[in-house]
Amino acid sequence: MRITVVGSINLDLVARASHLPGAGETVTGATLQRHPGGKGANQALAAEKLGAEVCLIGRVGDDAMAGEALGLMDAIGVDLSGVETDIAAPTGVALIAVDPQGENQIVVAAGANHWVTPEQLPQRIEGPLIVQLELPIETVEAAVGRATGFVCANLAPAAPVSERLLRRADLIVVNETEAAFYGEGLHRGGGRVVVTKGARGAAMYQRGVEMAWAAAPVVEAMDATGAGDAFVGAITVALLEGMEPVQALRFACAAGAVAATRAGAQPSLPERAEVEVLLAG
């Protein structure tokens, strides 16, 4: 199984604090960590660690942060030949605040991600494709239009997309907030729609009718950053492997649950064996 991911690449600057700040509030006493991140990169690494071969198409700056942002993917074997270096824009950065319960707030400076254009994409994208919305919408739309196989569209962060994308996607993944943003438009195509509900699990729909539901394993959450991306990578791999909907949802919920028990987006992404152990338990 070879999956192409067209998506964002960031370096995450994570501040762990006693609580998340309110408007105008300064929270002191935090600790700072640096982790590779970006939804595209996270989902590429997640799928690779769960058994797929993955090629990532994206963009980084010509700076020291680029090496950090690509380091874990390079080490695990993600194909980075589709990642270009931008000499004018910096590597994308996400500023993330995390509280002791694992809840987070995220502000993203897109940097080079903003300059991933349709011209960077191949004219045909063979095999399965995963996209998200941290790149320019026209680039995401072009990628989906050039795909020849299974398309998973993680419509996050929520933003207007074309009717053509909604109808072309074989799988749409959103959380509850994003599902509310898109409304019934999510269900107008013939593909499957998965709505994640955090610790309460996830549901799969087709044409607006629930076809499967799975509860999330009970874990002690530390950091929710990356859990949603682990879910996207896992549900895509599971469905491509031929798992039935309930089995695929259970697998993806377990992947997200493992990720939530560890700090950082990419460092938290689980190996296949960890997911299977949690499911067996």
Q: What is the pLDDT of residues 71-100, one digit of tens each?
A: 999 999 999 999 999 999 999 999 989 898
pLDDT of 229: 97
Percentage with pLDDT > 90 across the chain = 87
Q: Does domain 2-9+37-90+112-280 have CATH number 3.30.1280.10?
A: no
The candidate with the shortest Cα–Cα distance to 47, out of 176, 201, 154, is 154
Q: How far apart are CA 84 and CA 135, in angstroms?
A: 14
Listing DSSP states for the chain in one string gives: -EEEEE---EEEEEEE-SS---TT----S-EEEEEEE-HHHHHHHHHHHTT-EEEEEEEEESSHHHHHHHHHHHHHT-EEEEEEEESSSPPEEEEEEE-TTS-EEEEEE-GGGGG--GGGS-SSB-S-EEE-SSS-HHHHHHHHHHB-S-EEEE--S-----HHHHHH-SEEEEEHHHHHHHGGGGGSSSSEEEEE-GGG-EEEEETTEEEEEEPPPP---S--TTHHHHHHHHHHHHHHTT--HHHHHHHHHHHHHHHHTSSSTTTTPPPHHHHHHHHH-
Joined together, the tokens standing for residue 198 give 């955090």
pLDDT at residue 263 greater than cutoff 90: no
The tokens describing 90, both together, are 């910096």
CA distance 184 to 248: 24
Average pLDDT of the chain, as a whole number = 95
pLDDT at 186 over 80: yes
pTM, to two decimals: 0.94
**pLDDT average, residue stretch 103-121:** 94
The dihedrals phi and psi of 89, each to the nearest 5 degrees, come to: -115, 145
**127-182 residue pLDDT tens:** 999 999 999 999 999 999 999 999 999 999 999 999 999 999 999 999 999 999 99
> In the predicted model, is pLDDT for residue 8 greater than 80?
yes
pLDDT at residue 65 greater than cutoff 90: yes
Per-residue pLDDT, 221: 83
Percent of the chain with pLDDT over 70: 100
Catalytic option among 12, 79, 170, 229: 229
Upper half-sphere CA count for residue 274 (Cβ side, 13 Å)? 20
Domain range summary for the chain, segments of one domain joined by +: 2-9+37-90+112-280
- Residue carrying the six token digits 């903003």: 114
Concerning whether 229 is annotated as a catalytic residue, the answer is yes
Please give the torsion angle defined by the CA atoms of residues 71, 76, 78 and 84, in that order, rounded to the nearest 10 degrees.
10
Q: Using CB atoms within 10 Å of the CB of residue 33, give its burial: 0 to 12 exposed, 13 to 18 middle, 19+ buried.
A: middle
Q: Could you tell me the two tokens for 134? A: 């941290």
- Give me the mean pLDDT over the 13-34 stretch: 94
- Residue 224 is predicted with a pLDDT of 80
201-242 pLDDT, tens digit per residue, is 999 999 999 999 999 999 988 878 789 999 999 999 999 999
pLDDT at 273: 97
Q: CB–CB of 165/154 below 8 Å?
A: no
CA pair distance 7, 67, nearest whole angstrom: 17
pLDDT-based confidence at 102, cuts 50/70/90? confident
